Chains A and B, each alone.
Chain A
């Protein structure tokens, strides 16, 4: 274990509040007989999946139920044996509370026991090192990435960026540092902490796969110093590892688990604005993602994940391994939820309030905070911004939130872009420190939305303009072609006429003359004959 020498700008120390769940070992919770499994077709970032089965088809656990196109998209799998009962819009686990297309599966009766047993088997999971290395050496890099992709692995730390896309970028460039993110810097969340403590060997196996794939010069696992047990477990697991892995401890400071902040903490380098970490030779993966890709390589696709359930609104807070697609209300009922609660999905800093508790657990849900409505503080009184700069002191992206706020508030979106709005990672440090209690991040999200909308509109307008111009060009071209044709025709006709004038006319006259002459001759002959007859 080593301490880091680097720092990032700003950051905050919110109350950790992890005690409620940090000492609770991962337990399995599965569906109840009355539950249905709802697999949303867009999980994390990436284009929409297309279902490959129909309503009424039966599915098996781990079976792939969708396909997807494009590099930045991964398929989804069924966590259970069952039957597809619907493919329709369901409430999405999203701040908007909108509906999203999902595949609905009715699990077979009593199948949850099998699910729990399988999950429990995983607790005593042993890694067959020789089998793994044999497998790795038999596959090309592309094949390994393809397996990870088909296994449905996306970033489990929150953003849900498809792991295969990061790895594609990684094998194309020379990777200097592979960073494994075990920071879990948001308050309350403990699922990664438990995973590191209990399943360090799976994480290390995943790291070895990435080592094999990317050949980094160094591998660093970053863990905040508030997780000593996790650090110890990782150290024990790395002793037998073939890869040389450094475990680096950092001071507890939010948002040190933000990808760009962690890279700066462990390497001292900043990821250039508007680029991905691979631009500076870094690939960063969350610990849970790394464990998931290990399983994906061994034909165990991502169908379950660990979720922290915490807050005073549940009787048994803890860390639960749950099937992806289980309705949140089923999970919470099984944790003993009390009446009239507010549910936050994700951590208290970056999470969002859930509007419909029937929405499902998705791949990116790492935490559910359940708070009694009665224990919630009333909304703090909001004051005007006094430009005290607490926010810019706390901003890990070194932005000027107070100026961004002014620009966003006065709808000067051009100015917000000049103030680097799109480098905002929405970590919420500015909201946290603001003495005037201004919800700054929501202003930035709004501004980003407007600008993105305007850009889309602009693109559409550009496309329409190009189409229109093409259309115009085609019309004028056709007109020109028609005119040309007409002119040619006219010219041809004219030429014909002219040639008629020069050659046919005299002939005509001749013909006429000849005819007249012939007629005269005939008349004369007739006269002669008549004269002879008489």
Chain B
């Protein structure tokens, strides 16, 4: 029987998340050139095609899966996380892995235990560590006085330039998080490291602007009730507290809270990645634990681990604990007795 229902649909929720990514994409494109947009343009059709193919192989109708917009969203999230000049085929490897292995092999939308975009990201990171850590510096994004343009980006991404490492020598480099880690290994202090790597005020090299734009999108998602506040707030607060603690104890070795909040994938992770409802905890208290643990893990890996950024690993690790967290954080129901 057909029941009265609210207007919201899965596709509409996905569309809201896609809309919330717009400011972040604008910032990415202005600072690093249109690489992310080019990646997205490649990955969205590939994602949809891969999804449709697998569903077709399972003898099911692919139309609903295409209409739910979850595949394009995964592509957009992954594209936002990739270095802007990553070769096109690597981007395709990443999205195919995300859609086919991480999502469809588990049964498609809603069935996957791990965040598909982050699985794709991590596969690329462990397979192509050099390419995946070569980011444009904002200075590098300006070639001959101009911001790196569409043509240049495309040429590099599609490899039509013979040896891109020479052509854009000096324009690619590590992310501030990566550079800071290197600086610390070289025995520099945080404040010296900041001077070394950063034109930005806080987190270096335009990253604070990118993070702020993702924050804006995230606030829209909370305001429109697309996501609940629990995960992003607990994650950011946990990151803030733990970084403030270590920064107070030893400011020469541990970066400031603002640096952590506004660099790397912090905001993208907090509002767009960790909040993926399929793979995140679903109880209110569980979401707070889930977010807080991700925040702490991000700090731990960034400060003492081997990788410069840690959003992907932290989210995937906590995805594993989601059933456990849900089990132990069941909310008190209406009329539940205290002993029960």
Contact = CB atoms under 8 A, between A and B. Distances in A.
B4 A348 contact: yes
B3 A384 contact: no
25 contacts: A8-B334, A260-B335, A271-B335, A273-B336, A274-B335, A344-B1, A349-B3, A349-B4, A378-B2, A379-B2, A381-B64, A384-B110, A387-B277, A389-B277, A392-B283, A396-B334, A397-B333, A400-B282, A400-B330, A423-B334, A423-B335, A432-B5, A432-B6, A435-B10, A435-B12
Nearest to A402: B282
Contacts of B111: 384
Interface string A316-352: 0000000000000000000000000000100011001
A420 B12 contact: no
Interface string A414-448: 00000110010000100111111101000000000
Interface in B1-56: 1-6, 8-10, 12-13
Contacts of A387: 110, 277-278, 280, 282
Given A387-B282, A388-B277, A389-B277, A260 B334 contact: yes
Contacts of B326: 403
Interface of B: 1-6, 8-10, 12-13, 64, 67-68, 70, 107-111, 228, 277-278, 280, 282-283, 326, 330-337, 340
A381 B61 CA distance: 12
Nearest to A392: B282
Interface string A491-526: 000000000000000000000000000000000000
A376 B108 contact: no
A272 interface: yes
A281 interface: no
Given A270-B334, A270-B335, A383 B68 contact: yes
Contact of A432 (B4, B10, B64, B331): B4
B335 A272 contact: yes
B333 A348 contact: no
Interface string A270-291: 1111110000000000000000
B110 A435 contact: no
B271 to A, nearest CB: 15
Contact of A433 (B8, B282, B336): B8
A399 B68 CA distance: 27
Contacts of B110: 383-387, 436
B332 A384 contact: no
A70 interface: no
B334 A386 contact: no
A171 interface: no
A79 to B, nearest CB: 30
Contacts, number: 119
Contacts of B9: 380, 383, 435-437
Interface residues of A, number: 55
Interface string A397-419: 11110110000000000000001
A431 B111 CA distance: 20
A390 interface: yes
A118 interface: no
A9 interface: yes
Contact of B3 (A8, A348, A419): A348
B9 to A, nearest CB: 5
Contacts of B64: 381-383
B334 A273 contact: yes
B331 A398 contact: yes
Question: Lowest 9 CB-CB distances: which A-B pairs, in order?
Answer: A384-B110, A273-B335, A435-B8, A397-B334, A388-B277, A270-B335, A348-B4, A383-B10, A398-B333
Contacts of A187: 4
A15 B13 contact: no
Contacts of A399: 333
Contacts of A160: none
A274 B335 CA distance: 8
A436 B110 CA distance: 10
B336 to A, nearest CB: 6
A273 B283 CA distance: 20
B8 A352 contact: no
A420 B68 CA distance: 31
A158 interface: no
Q: Which of B2, B68, B228, B280 has the most chain A CB within a 10 Å cutoff?
A: B2
Contacts of A378: 2
Contacts of A398: 331-334
A12 interface: yes
A67 interface: no
A344 B111 CA distance: 35
Give the one of B6, B64, B228, B283 with max A CB within 10 A.
Answer: B6
